[in-house]
A and B are shown apart, each in its own frame.
Chain A
Amino acid sequence: MRADGPAIVVSDIRKSYGDLRAVDGVSFTVAEGEFFGLLGPNGAGKSTTLEIIEGLRKPDSGSVRILGESPWPRNPALLPKMGVQLQASSFFERLTSKEQLQTFGSLYGVSRAAAVDMLELVGLTDKADVQENNLSGGQRQRLSIACALAHDPEIVFLDEPTAALDPQARRNLWDVLRAIQARGKTIVYTTHHLDEAEILCDRVAVVDKGRVMAMGAPAWLVRKLDAQTQVIVEHGTVTVEIARNLPGADKVIDDGVSVIIATNDAGLTIKALGELDALNKAQVRTATLEDVFLHLTGRAYRE
């Protein structure tokens, strides 16, 4: 069944802490080789969902199958096939990057050389002999991902890998994540950066209050929203009156820097703007996952 079966099947899992329903009936399937994102604000239940899938927690009800097997109770046959990076950067004390990888690798019976290969994947070859506590935040995050990969697992779980990173470090990490997917791994990751999920993930599940609000390819979710597109032209190129009368145009705002035209038919609007020769330095802003979230929950997204 392994050949074609999905990598992960989550069926209606629930978990409550007292009155708090942390996970309230979550179901989804992840195909092999897929990059799947669980996204939502802090406290949405993403981490608890991930921990149940990893087998760290027992769900109150529902079931999880990873490569056809149950992760709970602790399943030693399944563990080598899973690589887990935890929310905190969890390392052994005072070991260098290389030693961290070798030590984590040894927990899975991996040779020292094979474990160290992962340094190259995450771009830390030159930091091999630097102690973990002397690495930057981004480097430490990449090392912790390398440690999750040390035993060459089939499925990789990453919990908020890009949280607390500066923009440059985040982009470096995206390259790492794409490289991991290129190796044929299935990746499940949580994030509260909606923009990032949109760029990286094949499919996402938007989670809020322990429930999956929507699921699918980011572009599909956005398109399904059928939201207005904003066409933004430089202030002075068209007047508000002209803009308002453009085909498809709805609301128009002139903030003194730009004229922002909300349109229900971006194609027509842009074509008309082109005829007016007003497209110099124009921008088009389509709806994002953030708009999807806003639409689904009726409240603005707060990171």
Chain B
Amino acid sequence: MNAFTSLSVAMFKASIRDKAALFFTFMFPLMFLVVFALLSGVKLASNVEIAVVGDSRVVAALQNSEGVNIQRIKESSSAIDMLRDGKVAAIVVSQGDTIDVRYANGDRAETGPALAKISDAIASANLGAGTTPPKYAVRQKPIEETAFEPIQYLTPGILSWGVSTAAVFSSALTLVAWRRKQVLRRIQLAPIGRGSVLSSRLLLSVVIALLQAVLFVAVATLPVFGLKLSNQWWLAIPLLILGTLAFFSVGMLLGAICKTEDSVTGAANLVVLPMALLAGSFFPIDKAPDWVKLITNALPLRHMNEGMLDVLVRGKGFDALVLPGSVLIGFTLVVSAIAAVSFRWEDK
């Protein structure tokens, strides 16, 4: 075995023997998935915005429901524009006894509660009319083809977060541990290219990221969760690799700066957690103020999230990889350049 293979094998063995790290790499993101899948079913406290075209008992019932703000609109086309812009969560078009309910793709948290309010209003209007069969016929359909269950947008987000966390932490901890235990100096004293050492460690991170994705998607597609993958799901593989590269370089930078395992763990948490929250890995950030959105667009995780959502769930093609891919590559180049400058073989 050459040095590259041997190092890769050694590090792979070491990582599967580290039970705590295995848990945080593989089980922790799954726990988040379960928690957020449960939470997303809970009614949100804020009022939901619903656009209404036309009038009927259903509209009246909707107007009387708590937690609903009605916006009366003349034209259904302008109502659909409002829906597209995220200004309302759903539209109710009332024409005679037919009620058309339209809603946006489910990556908006308020869609579920809005639809629940509408179906309550329809039920109460039918009850008021007292006819059999029910007076109001309902046609419900999203403005785009696919309807999203919460699992559909939770999976790409939490998976991206899980991959980024594992890549940052494991690479940063390896670098700090190797420097502190002088393994780096041993490597310096061996006739081996530094590239083999770095690339074997990177290979490990990529393998772990792909394993994470397989396990995570396998669990999310269980009937309990009900994730439906797009036909383009395999486009997620290059994205996972590029994301791992980007966050591996963050780990290398943190590992270059920090001296102890404790300090690097703290630093990695400080970077990864706020980034995951701002990037919308756990919940959508559509409602965030514009300045927050500006920040999130600068975050590599945000682009990884979006890209994963596009290819895993929305079924978009290769085009959807261009922006996130470019951002991740650019980010990797900049951060790894800084990491290379900050790199130290030993503690002074």
Contacts and interface: CB of A to CB of B under 8 A. Distances in A.
Interface of A: 54-56, 74, 76-77, 79-80, 82, 84, 86-95, 99, 102-104, 106-109, 112, 131, 147
Contacts of B191: 76-77, 79-80, 107-109
B146 interface: no
B186 A103 contact: no
Interface in B8-25: 10-11, 13-14, 17-18
Contacts of B186: 84, 86, 90, 104, 107, 147
Interface string B175-212: 00100011101111111100000000000000000000
Interface string B156-190: 00000000000000000010010001110111111
A84 B189 contact: yes
B2 interface: yes
A76 B187 CA distance: 12
A79 B181 contact: no
Contacts of B182: 86-88, 90
Given A86-B182, A95-B13, A79 B189 contact: yes
Given A87-B182, A106-B3, A112-B1, A92 B189 contact: no
Given A55-B189, A107-B192, A90 B14 contact: no
Nearest to A80: B191
A91 B181 contact: yes
B11 A82 contact: no
Contacts of B267: none
Contacts of B6: 102-103, 106-107
A54 B189 contact: yes
Contacts of B174: 93
A86 B181 CA distance: 9
B7 interface: yes
Contact of A94 (B1, B2, B3, B18): B18
B255 to A, nearest CB: 14
B293 to A, nearest CB: 41
A90 to B, nearest CB: 4
Contacts of B1: 106, 112
Contact of A99 (B3, B10, B18, B185): B10
B3 A92 contact: no
Contacts, number: 76
A289 B347 CA distance: 34
Given A86-B182, A92-B14, A103-B10, 12 more contacts: A55-B189, A56-B188, A79-B190, A80-B191, A86-B185, A92-B183, A93-B177, A94-B14, A94-B18, A95-B14, A102-B10, A107-B191
Contacts of B181: 88-91
Interface centre among B7, B182, B191 (most CB of A within 10 A): B191
Interface centre among A82, A102, A109 (most CB of B within 10 A): A109
Contacts of A131: 17
B7 A93 contact: no
Nearest to A115: B6
Contacts of B11: 92
25 contacts: A54-B189, A55-B189, A56-B188, A74-B188, A77-B191, A79-B191, A84-B186, A84-B189, A86-B182, A86-B185, A89-B181, A91-B183, A92-B11, A93-B14, A93-B18, A95-B14, A99-B13, A102-B10, A103-B10, A106-B2, A107-B187, A107-B191, A109-B2, A109-B191, A112-B1
A94 B13 contact: yes
A88 B188 CA distance: 15
Interface residues of B, number: 25
B189 A82 contact: yes
A127 to B, nearest CB: 17
A97 B181 CA distance: 16
Nearest to A77: B191
A77 B17 CA distance: 36
Contacts of B14: 92-95
A137 to B, nearest CB: 15
Nearest to B193: A76
A104 B192 CA distance: 11
Interface string B10-53: 11011001100000000000000000000000000000000000
A100 to B, nearest CB: 8
Which 4 pairs across A and B sit closest by C-beta, in order of nearness?
A106-B6, A107-B190, A90-B182, A79-B191
Contacts of A93: 14, 18, 174, 177
B183 A107 contact: no
A76 B191 CA distance: 5
Nearest to A112: B1
Contacts of A76: 191
Nearest to A83: B189
B10 A95 contact: yes
A91 B188 CA distance: 14
A56 to B, nearest CB: 6
Contacts of B188: 56, 74
Interface centre among B5, B174, B188 (most CB of A within 10 A): B188
B265 to A, nearest CB: 15
B7 A106 contact: yes
Contacts of B5: 106
